[in-house]
Structure 1
Amino acid sequence: MASQLGISRPIKVLVVDDSAFMRKVVSEMLEEADDIEVIDKARNGIDALRKIETDEPDVITLDVEMPKMDGLEFLQKLPELIGKNIPVIMLSSLTTKQSKTTIKALELGAIDFVAKPSGSISLDIDQVKQELIEKVRIAAGAKSKLAKISKTFSRTLKPVKKRVISTKKITAKPSISTRATGLTKLVVIGSSTGGPRALKEVVTLLPEDLDAAVLIVQHMPPGFTTSLAQRLDKLSDIRVKEAAEGDRLEKGLALLAPGDYHMTIENGQVKLNQNPKVHNVRPAVDVTMESIAYDYNSNTVGVILTGMGKDGAEGMKLIRDNGGKTIGQDEETCVVYGMPKVAYEIGGVEVVKPIDRIAEEIVRMVNS
């Protein structure tokens, strides 16, 4: 497997966790894979920085909360002190506090995260093990691209500067109930691995008076989508919320599909369901895109961002075949060039843009 990712030797992993038990469990899970080698363990961020100087790993697994230097501070210090771009997989428990911290970690450059199971880890150890091994492999394959991607995203670590200019003077965000409900245009955005950081780059640059409703589907488990929506809402001029059954599409409102629920649109309203997974994920981008492609046809803008697999490819093609406009993120700025690549290959992508140019392209398409 490592050779398929362009690595001729085992993937070297540094496990960072303040719990000796978790360091042992995570290491044992990873070393069950023939192509992964745990080269060292660290008890906090400071310890990890010292060990990286001795032997640089291909991937780091990182606990969220640790004494002396936690996960967020470590992510900030890694390029500052070490000058290296090493892919990081976060390990987060299913608590509100840790999910919010994990979303910030993804903004700071962590490739992905694995949600620790609630209760005893032994209850879901096989599921966690397979997910962790798969994500470490994906992260190792993305290592060579991180320097360029980090440069593209570097300004988003500072207060966001709006480059997409609104036609209105932006004041406080109005409540949903006071917004105009007349709606003719709809933007649908799909993303997976690397998505939270990419979504921040896109959504925070959309103007408050965007003449369209927005739907977002990010592959993410329950709880984390709540934190992601809250974070995007805090940073954006448009309003962002986790979608709920019966929510209506409104201009300047972005609805994020909740974890473990497919999101469809019927008569301008959100419908949520737990039908079987599509492409082994729920929510699935294709489910949402296919539910709106015929009704909104030429008034639709489909956007597919970084992610593994092919979810969203058929939905993008359906949008385009029905007269809508579509945008795919380019390979150079994708953490994983999977979903946009497949969409492009089957004819579902009309325009290819780097992540820092997608928001202005959305606005152009909505206004054209």
Structure 2
Amino acid sequence: MLMNILLIDDSELILSELSLLLNQTGKFSRIFKAHDGEEGIRQTMLNKPDVIILDLQMPRMDGFTFLRWLMANHPVPVMVFSSAGTDENIFKAMEIGAVDFIQKPENYITGAFANHFNEKLSAVMHASIPLKTGSVARPQAHKSVKLSHSEVPRSNFEILVIGASTGGPTAIQRVLEDIQSYVDIPVVVCQHMPRNFTGVFANRLNMLLDLNVKEAEDGECPQKQTVYVAPGDMHLEFHDNAFRLVQPHLNDRYIPSVDRLIETVVASYGKNTLAAILTGMGTDGSAGACAVHEAGGTLLAESQDSCVVYGMPKAAVSTGFVDHVLSLDVMGGEIVSLLRQIEPE
């Protein structure tokens, strides 16, 4: 079924180029335009769009104010279309309710950019808008109580790997918030994201969490109570007890690759690997699921009811090797429970 889409940007050139690009897809019955948030609200009330592409920096009413109004009055999937230099703002927008983002090209839209844009937009078009964290009471297991180092639970798990794509930044932050007082092992996060955004993502998490969060570096050995974010535009692997950054091939679809990270981590940690596949488009993580199972590790997957895009978790579940399928509301609590379990020698 064809959808209606609303474009909100103060640049007439951007609106014209996006309209041309969207018309070529044949996926939209009507394309509406607005030059700022105020006009965006009027267009939304009048035309009820199914999906929105939104700039953040605009006169009169910016994208953040519009997003807050939208999520309260007409929640639909939103893809942020941002200029360089607003990386931190991207994550603020996703906290408010945006599904995903794409950086504006420096010049005109090229064929390569158009393919990337269409792939991103396709996932956003079919995304769900989960209930916001603040609107429901969180389970008791999620209460964050700061423990002394001696109180942090010990288990046989020696590393936690988290993989995600579309909708992942908010989901990852939620899980880390829930487990931060209880985790005494290295945590490695693999989120499909460009290089200039992964550093901002890591810095943002570092400010929000009690854990140390940083981008992983080549040759670095993982430390306890530290979260490592895989740098964008590179594959993060684990060899000889250290992280290795590997240049991707031209035909690699997922960068950084969750599969390559999990498979190489499992090769070192074996059954002591704990992994979680969260919201995201595509099938990245399914090969990793097989590797975790064969090594005797434990794999969690986010359930469809809380996923923004039920793609990666679905692919993992379809392998038959997922040990627990959980809503994001209880994912952190289950990880904490697993970290409390100690197998007999």
> 1:15·1:38 contact (CA, 8 Å) conserved in 2?
no
> 2:160·2:185 contact (CA, 8 Å) conserved in 1?
yes
Quick check: 1:130 aligned with 2:121? Answer: no
Could you tell me how far 1:319 is from its partner in structure 2? Answer: 1.1
Give the 3 Å change call, closer, same or farther, for CA 133–87 of structure 1 in structure 2: same
Amino acid at match of 2:88: K
Could you tell me how far 1:167 is from its partner in structure 2? Answer: 3.1
> 2:123·2:166 contact (CA, 8 Å) conserved in 1?
no
Q: TM-score, normalised by structure 2?
A: 0.90
Could you tell me how far 1:363 is from its partner in structure 2? Answer: 1.8
Question: Which residue of 2 is the match for residue 24 of structure 1?
Answer: 16
**Please, which of 114, 125, 134 is the counterpart of residue 140 of structure 1?**
125
**Please, which of 40, 43, 46 is the counterpart of residue 51 of structure 1?**
43
Of 357-366 and 254-263, more deviation after overlay is shown by 357-366
Of 42-51 and 244-253, more deviation after overlay is shown by 244-253
Match runs of 1:180-259 below 5 Å: 185-208=158-181, 210-259=183-232
Could you tell me how far 1:55 is from its partner in structure 2? Answer: 0.6
Could you tell me how far 1:138 is from its partner in structure 2? Answer: 2.3
Match runs of 1:84-163 below 5 Å: 84-95=74-85, 98-118=86-106, 120-122=107-109, 125-142=110-127, 145-146=128-129, 149-151=130-132, 153-154=133-134, 163=143
SS of match in other structure, 2:49:
coil
CA–CA distance in 2 between the matches of 1:190 and 1:358? 13
SS of match in other structure, 2:184:
coil
Give the 3 Å change call, closer, same or farther, for CA 192–108 of structure 1 in structure 2: same
Question: Which residue of 1 is the match for residue 153 of structure 2?
Answer: none
Could you tell me how far 1:256 is from its partner in structure 2? Answer: 0.4
- In structure 2, list runs of 5 or more residues that go unmatched: 151-155
CA–CA distance in 2 between the matches of 1:155 and 1:239? 28
CA–CA distance in 1 between the matches of 2:11 and 2:100? 21
> 2:71·2:97 contact (CA, 8 Å) conserved in 1?
no
**Please, which of 60, 77, 81 is the counterpart of residue 69 of structure 2?**
77
Question: Sequence identity, in percent?
Answer: 34
Amino acid at match of 2:63: G
CA–CA distance in 2 between the matches of 1:37 and 1:114? 23
Could you tell me how far 1:94 is from its partner in structure 2? Answer: 2.9
Q: Deviations over 1:74-98 (max 9, x none)?
A: 1112133xx2111101111232xx1
Match runs of 1:311-330 below 5 Å: 311-330=284-303
Could you tell me how far 1:228 is from its partner in structure 2? Answer: 0.9
Q: How many residue pairs are counted as aligned between the two chains?
A: 333
Question: Which residue of 2 is the match for residue 42 of structure 1?
Answer: 34
CA–CA distance in 1 between the matches of 2:251 and 2:131? 31
Could you tell me how far 1:357 is from its partner in structure 2? Answer: 1.2
Q: TM-score, normalised by structure 1?
A: 0.85
Of 309-318 and 132-141, more deviation after overlay is shown by 132-141
Amino acid at match of 1:291: T
CA–CA distance in 2 between the matches of 1:101 and 1:48? 19
CA–CA distance in 1 between the matches of 2:333 and 2:252? 30
SS of match in other structure, 1:333:
coil
SS of match in other structure, 2:131:
helix
> 1:307·1:338 contact (CA, 8 Å) conserved in 2?
yes
Q: Deviations over 1:213-237 (max 9, x none)?
A: 0000000111111111111111112
CA–CA distance in 2 between the matches of 1:35 and 1:185? 47
Amino acid at match of 1:135: K
Could you tell me how far 1:103 is from its partner in structure 2? Answer: 1.6
Could you tell me how far 1:49 is from its partner in structure 2? Answer: 0.5
Amino acid at match of 1:92: S
Could you tell me how far 1:297 is from its partner in structure 2? Answer: 1.3
> 2:3·2:50 contact (CA, 8 Å) conserved in 1?
yes
Q: Deviations over 1:170-219 (max 9, x none)?
A: 9xxxxxxxxxxxx9610000000111111111112222451210000000
